[in-house]
Amino acid sequence: MSYIQQGTKIYRRTSFSFFAAGFNTFAILYCAQPLMLEFTKEFNISPTTASLSLSITTIALAISMLIFGSLSEVWGRKPVMVYSMLVASGLCVLTAFSPNFHILLVFRTLVGITLAGLPSVAMAYLGEEIEPKSLGSAMGLYISGNAIGAVAGRVISGTLSDFFGWHIAIAGIGIISLVATLIFWYSLPPSQNFSSRKLEIGKLGKSLIDHLKDPGLVCLYGMGFLLLGSNVALFNYIGYVLTAKPYSLSQTIVSWIFIILIIGMFSSVLTGKLVDRHGKQKILILNLIITLIG
């Protein structure tokens, strides 16, 4: 097998392309979060109902990831990721033209389904193509793209909505994501170590059940659920508090609160390097301790 080695031009291209991919995915996913207050006002709905604009996308993405991972075994890694990003970006633009909240939820559900093609395949591609000793750093750069995308999606959409309304805000994120898709398409090298397989639904079901029987994996699933769930819940509703009295902040100022998540860009790269040096378990435990202290 021919692996991509750290320090080479192709490694930099691959890392940059996945940075763009992570940006694309999380900008589209989280662009609705700072707009929930606007949805509440325009569609006369409760904050809980408005939060469905993010929750339903996340649920659709989570379920669809189980399917896209298997489809990539048949169709190939890069094609699944590229078409996923391209369709999701197009749907994001169409979401801006939603005449009511029900149609908006339909588009956001479709966005979640199509977005799943990137995160479900990205780690598999990196694991197959990057040399093992550099894998942690490569994944760290991909995750840093996720962090930047999550921040930029929220800040840009929140700021645009304050000046031009939520329609322009979502359309703007969709256009930016289309550009990120083209960068990914052009920069990512085709798979060299991938071998196509037949799609076997039976094996997929058995594999999922086997994963749930592994206590270590169940613990990781639980940590992901609790950590990300608490993070998203906090930021879903903090805008309602900060735009009301006694804070009375503008939507633009509130959207910039998400900049705190930029720390994830640096910590993910650092964590990847530490994993390469000290192993996964030690660094995972260290990060959990830091989280609990916070």
Catalogue all structural domains in the chain, each as residue range(s) with its CATH number.
9-293 (1.20.1250.20)
> Do residues 263 and 151 make contact, with C-beta atoms less than 8 angstroms apart?
no
**Residues 97-135: pLDDT tens digits?**
999 999 999 999 999 999 988 888 888 888 888 888 777
Residues in Cβ contact with 290 at an 8 Å cutoff, skipping those fewer than 6 apart? none
Per-position pLDDT tens, the chain of length 294: 677 777 788 888 888 888 888 888 889 999 999 999 999 999 999 999 999 999 999 999 988 887 876 776 666 788 888 999 999 999 999 999 999 999 999 999 999 999 988 888 888 888 888 888 777 777 877 887 888 888 888 899 999 998 999 999 999 999 999 999 999 998 888 877 766 666 666 666 676 777 788 888 888 889 888 888 888 888 888 888 888 889 888 888 888 888 887 777 778 778 878 888 888 888 988 988 988 888
* C-alpha closest to that of 91 among 60, 125, 62: 60
Cβ burial of 265 (10 Å; 0-12, 13-18, 19+) is: buried
> Do residues 82 and 184 make contact, with C-beta atoms less than 8 angstroms apart?
yes
Cβ burial of 196 (10 Å; 0-12, 13-18, 19+) is: exposed
User: Could you report how far apart the first and last alpha carbons of the chain are, in Å?
Assistant: 43
**Residues 34-70: pLDDT tens digits?**
999 999 999 999 999 999 999 999 999 988 887 876 7
The pLDDT assigned to 74 comes to 64
Task: Look up residue 232 and give its two tokens.
Answer: 């998203």
Pairs from 101-108 (Cβ < 8 Å, separation ≥ 24):
101/39, 101/43, 101/45, 101/49, 101/53, 104/39, 104/53, 105/52, 105/53, 105/56, 108/32, 108/53, 108/54, 108/56, 108/57, 108/60
Helix pair angle (9-30, 166-187), 10° resolution: 160
